[in-house]
């Protein structure tokens, strides 16, 4: 009962906390492509960022999630819209330590964005077509976990060019944290996430300086149901606020058949956004066959256009378990009766 009450309280407090994190200014920000969530999985789930570890996708969402990576993974995603803009993302995640007490993961990623062409008409009557914006960002990420708390950081280098003439660059970082509630009993079933994005220098085009889209996010994820044969259901909600904007909210879920270690899995995802200009609901699917995973996400565009994201992921090597399965704990006691069972329990208490 106390644990259920704690989940309810945290679930109510986390969105309120995130909505009040950013208070200063009404600045006009640049490098809007840094706000895009490139993970088809998370985009389909409402664009979640903070409380759902996502392997290589954690490089550009919450870097603390790298500490939960169970094997080397590569991910490549592509985003396009009907207004000629295109964004590509590639990332790699590699675990160094994976055990219930400590986890350490490294990641690297690259984001490329082009906003399409615009026509420039000169006073002499001539015209030409120029690329409106070409930008990219390189990221290096590190996530570490000790017990039930994980932290991560993603330093990044950003370069942006407008109309093929005016360039600017900036250095920034994303900082994130994950808190697992009662991991010995619930494993990763209840997770709170916190994220600060794009903390760093400004982009300066000629004499004009522009802030990066500094964003602060807090969220909570709960695995409502989990069964080895009938799949699991994950639900998450979060709140975020970007510099110069009001608070926004995301809700999303994922139904999956197949665990991280399984060679085959199927995923159905959906989500909703509140107070987002031009976007509301989203959905997507994913399928895994051995080491290959393909995911698709659709975002309904209420103003400009619909958005489509397609991602391909590759896994290498064998899966290393990050947290013990509950069934493994139960198997330890099979065949043990009376004093033997009691003795094993006492040894577990001493070891902990």
- Assess whether pLDDT exceeds 50 at residue 226: yes
Taking the CB of residue 331, how many other CB atoms lie within 10 A of it? 10
Q: Percent of the chain having pLDDT more than 70?
A: 80
Task: Write out the two tokens for 195.
Answer: 């994220």
Whole-number pLDDT of residue 9: 38
| Complete domains list, the chain, with CATH | 2-321 (2.40.160.60)
Task: Specify the pLDDT at position 126.
Answer: 79
pLDDT, residue 93, reads 97
* Residue 213 pLDDT exceeds 80: yes
More reliable by pLDDT, 98 or 61:
61
pLDDT for residue 336: 43
Distance CA 30, CA 211 (A): 6
pLDDT digits (tens, 9 = 90+) for 111-128: 999 987 887 777 777 788
The mean of the pLDDT values for the chain is 82
User: What pLDDT digit, counting tens, does each position of 156-179 carry?
Assistant: 999 999 888 889 999 999 999 999
Q: What is the pLDDT of residue 320?
A: 64
């Amino acid at each position: 009962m106390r644990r259920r009450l704690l989940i309810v309280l945290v679930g109510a407090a986390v969105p309120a906390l995130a909505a009040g994190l950013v208070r200063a200014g009404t600045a006009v920000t640049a490098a809007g492509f840094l706000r895009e969530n490139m993970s088809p999985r998370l985009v389909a789930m409402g664009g979640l960022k903070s409380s759902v570890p996502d392997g290589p996708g954690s490089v550009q969402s919450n870097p603390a999630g790298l500490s939960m990576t169970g094997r080397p993974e590569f991910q490549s995603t592509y985003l396009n819209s009907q207004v000629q803009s295109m964004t590509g993302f590639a990332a790699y995640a590699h675990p160094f330590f994976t055990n219930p007490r400590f986890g350490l993961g490294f990641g690297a990623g690259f984001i490329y964005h082009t906003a399409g062409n615009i026509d420039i008409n000169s006073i002499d009557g001539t015209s030409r077509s120029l690329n409106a914006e070409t930008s990219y960002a390189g990221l290096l990420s590190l996530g570490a976990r000790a017990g039930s708390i994980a932290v991560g950081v993603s330093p990044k280098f950003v370069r942006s060019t407008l109309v093929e003439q005016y360039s600017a660059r900036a250095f920034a970082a994303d900082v994130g944290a994950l808190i697992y509630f009662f991991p010995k009993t619930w494993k990763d079933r209840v997770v709170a996430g916190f994220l600060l994005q794009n903390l760093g220098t400004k982009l300066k085009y000629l004499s004009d300086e522009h802030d990066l889209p500094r964003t602060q996010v807090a969220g909570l994820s709960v695995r409502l149901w989990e069964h080895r044969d009938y799949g699991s259901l994950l639900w998450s909600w979060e709140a975020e606020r970007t510099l110069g904007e009001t608070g926004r909210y995301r809700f999303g879920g994922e139904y999956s058949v197949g665990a991280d270690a399984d060679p085959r899995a199927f995923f159905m995802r959906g989500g909703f956004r509140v107070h987002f200009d031009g976007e509301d609901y989203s959905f997507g699917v994913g399928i895994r066959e051995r080491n290959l995973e393909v995911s698709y996400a659709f975002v309904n565009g209420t103003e400009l256009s619909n958005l489509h994201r397609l991602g391909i992921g590759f896994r290498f090597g064998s899966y290393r378990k990050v947290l013990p399965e509950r069934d493994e704990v139960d198997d330890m006691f099979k065949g043990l009766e009376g004093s033997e069972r009691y003795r094993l329990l006492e040894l577990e208490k001493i070891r902990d």
